[in-house]
Structure 1
Amino acid sequence: MTTGNTQRELIDYLWEWAESKGFWAKLLVHKVTTSQAPLTQIEKQEVFNYYLQEITFIFEPPLPPINISKPTFTLPTREISLTKLSEVKGVNRLAEDQVMEFSPNITVVYGNNGVGKTGYSRVLKAQGYSFDSNNDILSNVHEEQVGQSAKIEFTLDGNPFYINWEGINLPSDLNAVSVFNSDCVNISLSSNRELLVTPKGFYLFSLITNELTALSAMHTQQYSLYPIKMHWSEQLIEGTPQKLYIDSLAPNSDKQKLEELSLYTQVNQDELSKKEDELKKLNKATLEVNLKNIDFILTELATNISMVRNIQSNLTKNDWDIIIKYNAALQILKAKTKKGIAGLAETHGLEQFNTVEFNTFLKSADSYIKLIAKENYPNNADDTCVYCKQDLQNEHARNLIESYSKILNDTTQEEIVKYKKLKTDIAERVNLLNDGIMFHYPAFGLLENNSIVQPKEIIDFNSKVKLYKSHIVNDSVSPNTEFEINYKVTIQFLEKKQKELITSRDSLIKALANLETAEIKLKKEIAELKDRKLLSVHKQEVLTCISNLSARKLLDDNKVQFNTMSLSAKTTQAREELVAQDFQDKFTAELKGFRKQHLDVNIGFFSQQGSSRIRQNIRQYDINKVLSEGEQKTIALCEFLTELQLDTTVAPVVFDDPVNSLDHNVMQDVAKRLADLSKERQVIVFTHNVLFYNAFFALQSHVTYKTNTDFNFYKVNTNGINTGLLSEGTPINKLKTYTSKLNIICNNGLGGKNENEVASEGYAYLRAGLELLVSNSIFKEIVGRYRNNIMMTLFPAVKGDMIEKHKAEIDGMFGRASGFIRAHSHPEEQHSPPTMNDLKADYKRFKIIEKDFK
């Protein structure tokens, strides 16, 4: 966009806005006003750094203070003029060897539809600006697409320059060229559009708006320098104090609370391991298995306790002492048996015992009686005689045996047998005792090789039982060996383990009954410990995050600084006071020039993101719903012409068919307005309208423009293959146009063409020449085919006598010409085709007749 005249108040509005923002805004306004161009990235960063320091971000060292006062501002002015367009390639079907030279004032290019006018217009529009921003250009669509290019020569403040255009809009001074075409109307009259030119230096507002947008982007980028995303936090478990703390993290989060929540010691680690083990065991199936195992262990333990108690009952110190006592008694009894028969006889006072016969008898009888080995023998009811097996119920027999016993022995042997029997009973009872108590279930745990622990207490107990049992069974009990089995200690040891297991079993039963509650509680405790551990590892990162949140809050609290609304408000204020009335006055003047002031168009301005925008209506209704197409186009032209007056850069303006939909009266007004405009800035007009084209020829000879306005005319044609073929422009339906062509045909010969075809072409020009001879030469253009008035002042100049003299010949010549040009389509109406001699003869007479009417 281009710029416009300004007054000294403009900088005041900008400075007022800057003072409301702070030092950074003053620095921004000063830099933009000084350069009148977008800031470099280094300059942007400097402004942004001062903004950060102002909102309390710390710089080390601090940014130095800068003394800034309100800058002065003077609008630059430039004058641009196009001189030549050439070397056009790849633009629609435009011929490549054409050169268009531009008048310093006004250049008018005429041609029918489809001959290439708009192609030239598109080249200029692609490098300039317009309401219509569509700059797409194609090459010949019937061939492979190629790139566009052209050479555009121009002057800037009188100095020559050129650019090699390559199909795209490149930054250059030619960006100031403005273009108005038919598509601009709807855009121009929309209810919300940006001004085509920035009025009265308001481009400074646009520049600062753009810088605010850039600063806002830097603000967003700065925001990203303070990341608050902690990916590890996704591992935190819902509901834990740590998770709640992190989720509610804020610039003012309690750091002491963080210390408490992240404290993690070895005690916590041990507790975590313990609770994880508990949780593993808190599986229903596992609990049931553990409960079953404990039941097995308790059963075995109860069995082993019973076995110990059984041993306690059957292997006692009392038995041990009795056996020692029995051994002592037996020792005495055995000593008595060693006295023999003599001792027995001596004891009983028997005589003649010492004979061999008696001695042998006693020994035999004694040995035989001992075979019985019965207590109270022979006084038992079922006793029989040891010698003859007779019933001893007979008193005499019984007395005999008793007598034998008394003679043969005393009770010593019986007592020996008795004591041995008592010892044997004890030994047999003790021998049955288990001296290898073992645990087949891990009541006391497992060893590393998964074998079951056998407690030392039980091993020692088994060893002692085995020892004492061995002495008793093997009859090796000695009074010198103390009996030292402490059954009470062993039973207490086992019962203690029994109680522990019963407690564990009860806990398991309770755990099974409250499995869900216990599991929830354990999981909650484990989750807290795990999150505590995780938070302890990342505590510094959390502290950094809190710091970053504080930085972000600072940025968030101040991001409104770069909002353009306040600048738009200041733009609106400046525009209303500096531009609005001036624009309305100029627009009204344009409407009067086209006699359209009665339309009562309302012009309104507003700001959007620092840009000046305009809307227009008629009594709150959209213009396109109220006005005709022609009236809409007139309003669009008036706005366009008004905006041009806001532009201090004097640059060319291009009009491509600006009078479509306009009546012939308005066309004349538009032609005059563009001729007037060409005195201020270069004007280039493309048109296919004959009335509009001829209007410029009429103005060229008008006294107002004849001496101070340079007109340049082109006509554009096509050869059927290429368009944009340029030739000198002449007034449409001027006699000279056709006489020139007739001269060429008659003087240049056939040029290898068919004589009848060349002659027919010549007669076509002669026929048109005869028409113009009548309208222009004979009747002095009193009535023009492409003019909107009858020039009655020329009527007296009509030569009536010459009309009478030549009218019959003119009519006959016109009839021949008409017949010859129809020869190809209606051969039956022509007796013979035209010849060059016929054409030359008729053209010779034509020139004589024309001369008579001059």
Structure 2
Amino acid sequence: MELEEWFEGRPKWLQTAAVLRLAKATLTEADYQQLFNLCQQESENINQTGFSSLSSGSLNNPVMSPSVRIATIHDLKGINALRPARPLDFAVGDNELTVVYGFNGSGKSGYSRLLKHLCGSRFCEDLHPNAFDSVVTEQTAGVQILVNGQSVPLQWRKVDGPLEPLRHVHIFDSECASSYVSKSIEAAFEPAPVRFLADLVADCVKVGQKFDDLMGTYRSRLPLFPQELQESVAATWLKALSPTTTEAELLEWCSWSLAETTELVGLDSDLAQADPVSLVAGKKRKKSAAELLILKLHGFESSWSSAVAEQIAVAREQLAACRRVAAEAAQQVFSGAPLTGIGEATWRALWDAAKVYSEKVAYPDRAFPVLDDAVCVLCQQSMSAAGSQRMQSFNAFVQGALDAAVVDAQASLDRLTVAVVDAPTAEILAAQFDAIDVSMDADSLHKKLGAQRDALMSHQSGGSLPSLDLTGVIQPIEAHVAELQIEISNLEATVDTTERARKQQRRKGLRGKQWLSQQVTAVREEVHRQKALASLATAKKLASTNALTQKKNDLAAALLATAHANRFVVELRELGGDKLPIKILPTRGSRTTQPGFQVSLEGALRLSPSQVLSEGESRIVALAAFMADVTAGPVNVPFVFDDPISSLDQRFEEATARRLIREAKVRQVIVFTHRLSMLALLDDLSGEEGIKVDVVALRGAPEGTGTPGQTAIREKKPEKAVNKLLGERLPKARKALADGDRESGEILLQSVCSDFRVLVERLIEMTLLNGVVQRFQKNLTTKDKLAGLAKIRPEDCVLLESMMTKYSYQEHSQPQETPVPLPSTDELGIDLKAVVDWIQEFSTRGVPLPAG
């Protein structure tokens, strides 16, 4: 009722969409076009017909989803070690519960993992191929389901993902249990009102997209405004064009008069004259260049003087004197050397190279020259006494003061000559003169500078060097600099930058207005386009999802915080965990996720439930949270439980069994277990609720892992099953062996032996002990049964015990080194016939009368 009242305040088109949504599960393109038209119609406030409103109570009608049952899983390929010889069938009738029972390694977990992938479980783990197969095949499976009672075949491939008809099937196992206790869980189902609002949100998005598509067709045909006029007032007005622009405004800006033409011509004439500001800037640049050139020319006069020439000549003479002294000393030191030139530059280069080679390569750890126990690094001969003496003399000479004096003198001369730059070329000088507007003979100046430099570099000490006089070049340039300064001062005194800028801006404005007058039709169309877009944008606001999304989130939070929490309390109580300090807290969703919940410790200051609860307590809390979550969805989809009583004590086991049986009244329930105690509990309690328990026993090798057995191991009257083994299945094994199909025959024979062993157990429970004592049954059944135990004779016990012992070898795994051979078909037939005869005799045997 509250949601209906809320809708009364929504746009009329949205109320119509809500009515349409209630009538149709899927809207067509025609429906969305109709809603779009109504939204636009409502926005423009014209022709207010065609709208609908929600009738009272219309949101309370539940949406029925189809009934789904899983009937068969068959033709498995590439899935774990599963190689079933027969399909796995599930009970699909009302008030039926399927228990898939098997020992460890029989394939229960493989089927459970497969079902999680078939249904798209939130807690899927990897589905591996058989680890021992040499070839990995594509993972596929066939599934037969019933939809509203009609058989529907499905083919699953792992690469294609889950099967859509099974997407609401939920599976409880250890991974699921751990997540429900330790994590924040997104709600499995949206409540119907929330789902309804979510559908409407999607409808609004599609209607909004139609507005976007239509608005995208309204393209502007207005030409681009000239780039050079972008800063004009006309450009500013055009940028501000809007749906509210009037025709009067448009005509004011897009008209052009003769007076405006006259004004524009006058402005063009005024502004065509040279710009004083630009002239001043250009003359300042020339003045700076001229002043720089004057400094360079003065630099040539001062640096190429006779004083500098004398310094260079003296340094050159000093270097020559040092070399003579060093050569004379070397002649005295090396007069006995076999070669000449010792101590000169060429020889010194050879000595330096030898030193580098010795210290870097030949003898890196020893100082050069190496004389003891060494080879000469120059001649590669062993060092003789004479050679060692020469090397010592060479080293003393190199390290002496005379050689060092030569090096210093050379360095002094180099410093002076490097400072003497080359004369600029005639081309460079001509370009510099042109840049400052001075007429000068650049070629003559270049020759004069070059001659002065050559004289400088060849000057001898004590000689005379004419001074470099560039007055004839410098004075005209200085005069030109003075003239430029006068011109600059005069121009700066007369420049009115403000008035020129005003004229330039006015001219831009007039040119912009002139351009607008030429585009008046395009400008008018642009105004109409913007008005149409504004109208569509206003209508699109009626399709905004904000209010719907907020309402959906608020409603989801309220329903999860109340209904979900209440269901959890009920489930925990039914499962016997109501004394546990546990509460459930809602968690908010996001734009891409549903709201959810998380279990928490009541009153705890620290730690999480998984850190405090025992394994059994955690399991029962997880099961309660799971049931509270998934029972919010459709009641006509299956639930699957894989070992639901793991870690539970007897009290919790019984409560869990009762809860599963109660759930089987409203949906298909499938339970995988290896616990006979669970099987017995379900069997015992099912009668109280009118539920039929259908048991499927999985077999391992040799028939193939995951193969469903052909004998009902919980059959109330096992004598029927024994007769079926003798009359139907044993003959099939005998025929296969007789036809030469040894492999198939032995598989069939093994299967009969295994089922016979199970049935002997059941005969002891139901026939010999008359059903008084059954394994894992909570209570003894004595009424009208106990007296039948008096029929038992020692030979009965001997027969059944011998069969148990003999066929237990076929049921349990045996070492490959000492395998137990299968009985022959004749031997097995004799044993089956003996048991059938015993059943007939025992069932007709009278109860002995009491003595006396």
What is the TM-score of this pair, normalised by structure 2?
0.53
CA shift for structure 1 position 203 = 0.9
Q: Which residue of 2 aligns with 1:670?
A: 656
- Paired residue secondary structure (2:579): helix
Q: Which residue of 2 aligns with 1:651?
A: 637
Letter in 2 for 1:594: L
Q: Which residue of 2 aligns with 1:634?
A: 620
Query: Does the C-alpha gap of structure 1 residues 720 and 765 become closer, same or farther in structure 2, counting only changes over 3 Å?
Result: closer
> Equivalents in 2 of 1:96, 1:205: separation in Å?
46
> Equivalents in 1 of 2:540, 2:636: separation in Å?
42
Larger Rg: 1
Query: Does the C-alpha gap of structure 1 residues 848 and 96 become closer, same or farther in structure 2, counting only changes over 3 Å?
Result: closer
Q: Which residue of 1 aligns with 2:712?
A: 730
Task: Say whether 1:592 aligns with 2:579.
Answer: no
Q: Which residue of 1 aligns with 2:62?
A: 75
On the 8 A contact 2:102/2:108 being kept in 1, the answer is yes
Q: Which residue of 1 aligns with 2:457?
A: none
Query: Does the C-alpha gap of structure 1 residues 23 and 682 become closer, same or farther in structure 2, counting only changes over 3 Å?
Result: same
> Equivalents in 2 of 1:175, 1:550: separation in Å?
45
Letter in 1 for 2:636: V
On the 8 A contact 1:200/1:646 being kept in 2, the answer is no
> Equivalents in 1 of 2:139, 2:811: separation in Å?
41
Q: Which residue of 2 aligns with 1:369?
A: none
On the 8 A contact 2:84/2:703 being kept in 1, the answer is no
> Equivalents in 1 of 2:590, 2:835: separation in Å?
70
> Equivalents in 2 of 1:97, 1:759: separation in Å?
14
CA shift for structure 1 position 761 = 10
Q: Deviations over 1:650-708 (max 9, x none)?
A: 233333333333334433333333333222222233333332234444456x2642xxx
- Counterparts in 2 of 1:197-346, with a 5 A limit? 197-211=189-203, 275=278, 278=281, 282=285, 286=289, 288=291
- Paired residue secondary structure (1:673): helix
CA shift for structure 1 position 763 = 8.7
- Counterparts in 2 of 1:355-754, with a 5 A limit? 503-507=483-487, 562=544, 564=546, 567-569=549-551, 571-573=553-555, 576=558, 581-599=562-580, 601-605=582-586, 608=589, 611-619=594-602, 622-643=608-629, 645-647=631-633, 650-699=636-685, 702=687, 704-705=689-690, 709-719=691-701, 723-728=705-710, 730-731=712-713
The aligned length equals 613
> Equivalents in 2 of 1:771, 1:710: separation in Å?
22
Query: Does the C-alpha gap of structure 1 residues 288 and 158 become closer, same or farther in structure 2, counting only changes over 3 Å?
Result: same
Letter in 2 for 1:713: V
- Paired residue secondary structure (1:681): coil
On the 8 A contact 1:92/1:140 being kept in 2, the answer is yes
Task: Say whether 1:43 aligns with 2:32.
Answer: yes
On the 8 A contact 2:120/2:161 being kept in 1, the answer is no
Query: Does the C-alpha gap of structure 1 residues 643 and 847 become closer, same or farther in structure 2, counting only changes over 3 Å?
Result: same
Letter in 2 for 1:689: R
Task: Say whether 1:181 aligns with 2:173.
Answer: yes
What is the TM-score of this pair, normalised by structure 1?
0.53
On the 8 A contact 2:194/2:552 being kept in 1, the answer is no
Q: Deviations over 1:443-489 (max 9, x none)?
A: 9999xxxxxxxxxxxxxxxxxxxxxxxxxxxxxxxxxxxxxxxxxxx
Which stretches in structure 1 are left out of the alignment for 5+ residues? Answer: 1-7, 55-60, 293-440, 447-497, 515-520
> Equivalents in 1 of 2:140, 2:639: separation in Å?
21
CA shift for structure 1 position 711 = 4.2
- Paired residue secondary structure (1:75): coil
Query: Does the C-alpha gap of structure 1 residues 816 and 176 become closer, same or farther in structure 2, counting only changes over 3 Å?
Result: closer
Query: Does the C-alpha gap of structure 1 residues 153 and 775 become closer, same or farther in structure 2, counting only changes over 3 Å?
Result: closer
Query: Does the C-alpha gap of structure 1 residues 507 and 567 become closer, same or farther in structure 2, counting only changes over 3 Å?
Result: same
Query: Does the C-alpha gap of structure 1 residues 175 and 567 become closer, same or farther in structure 2, counting only changes over 3 Å?
Result: same
- Paired residue secondary structure (2:709): strand
Letter in 2 for 1:198: E
Letter in 2 for 1:631: E
Which deviates further from its counterpart, 70-79 or 565-574?
565-574
On the 8 A contact 1:226/1:551 being kept in 2, the answer is yes
- Paired residue secondary structure (1:76): coil
Query: Does the C-alpha gap of structure 1 residues 823 and 207 become closer, same or farther in structure 2, counting only changes over 3 Å?
Result: closer
- Paired residue secondary structure (2:67): strand
On the 8 A contact 1:593/1:669 being kept in 2, the answer is yes
> Equivalents in 2 of 1:215, 1:561: separation in Å?
7
Query: Does the C-alpha gap of structure 1 residues 629 and 224 become closer, same or farther in structure 2, counting only changes over 3 Å?
Result: farther
> Equivalents in 2 of 1:829, 1:579: separation in Å?
60
Q: Deviations over 1:342-363 (max 9, x none)?
A: xxxxxxxxxxxxxxxxxxxxxx
Query: Does the C-alpha gap of structure 1 residues 632 and 729 become closer, same or farther in structure 2, counting only changes over 3 Å?
Result: farther
Query: Does the C-alpha gap of structure 1 residues 181 and 533 become closer, same or farther in structure 2, counting only changes over 3 Å?
Result: farther
Query: Does the C-alpha gap of structure 1 residues 130 and 848 become closer, same or farther in structure 2, counting only changes over 3 Å?
Result: same
Q: Which residue of 2 aligns with 1:195?
A: 187
Q: Deviations over 1:305-328 (max 9, x none)?
A: xxxxxxxxxxxxxxxxxxxxxxxx
- Paired residue secondary structure (1:659): coil
> Equivalents in 2 of 1:820, 1:75: separation in Å?
55
> Equivalents in 2 of 1:509, 1:589: separation in Å?
100
> Equivalents in 2 of 1:835, 1:443: separation in Å?
122
Q: Deviations over 1:67-93 (max 9, x none)?
A: 534324433314413344445555445
CA shift for structure 1 position 204 = 0.8
On the 8 A contact 2:32/2:207 being kept in 1, the answer is no
On the 8 A contact 1:672/1:699 being kept in 2, the answer is yes
> Equivalents in 2 of 1:836, 1:154: separation in Å?
39
On the 8 A contact 1:89/1:149 being kept in 2, the answer is yes
Which stretches in structure 2 are left out of the alignment for 5+ residues? Answer: 254-263, 296-432, 439-477, 844-852
CA shift for structure 1 position 810 = 6.8
- Counterparts in 2 of 1:827-846, with a 5 A limit? none
- Paired residue secondary structure (1:598): coil
Task: Say whether 1:99 aligns with 2:87.
Answer: yes
On the 8 A contact 1:91/1:140 being kept in 2, the answer is yes
> Equivalents in 2 of 1:828, 1:651: separation in Å?
49
Q: Deviations over 1:767-823 (max 9, x none)?
A: 777766666654456554444555566884464674555667777787777899999
On the 8 A contact 1:180/1:654 being kept in 2, the answer is yes
Q: Deviations over 1:368-393 (max 9, x none)?
A: xxxxxxxxxxxxxxxxxxxxxxxxxx
Task: Say whether 1:111 aligns with 2:102.
Answer: yes
Query: Does the C-alpha gap of structure 1 residues 847 and 121 become closer, same or farther in structure 2, counting only changes over 3 Å?
Result: same
Give me the identity figure in percent.
19
Letter in 2 for 1:670: T
- Paired residue secondary structure (1:715): strand
On the 8 A contact 2:107/2:706 being kept in 1, the answer is yes
On the 8 A contact 1:131/1:196 being kept in 2, the answer is no
> Equivalents in 2 of 1:250, 1:163: separation in Å?
62
Query: Does the C-alpha gap of structure 1 residues 763 and 148 become closer, same or farther in structure 2, counting only changes over 3 Å?
Result: closer
- Paired residue secondary structure (1:728): coil
CA shift for structure 1 position 727 = 3.2
CA shift for structure 1 position 207 = 1.7
Which deviates further from its counterpart, 726-735 or 588-597?
726-735
Query: Does the C-alpha gap of structure 1 residues 506 and 558 become closer, same or farther in structure 2, counting only changes over 3 Å?
Result: farther
Query: Does the C-alpha gap of structure 1 residues 771 and 76 become closer, same or farther in structure 2, counting only changes over 3 Å?
Result: closer
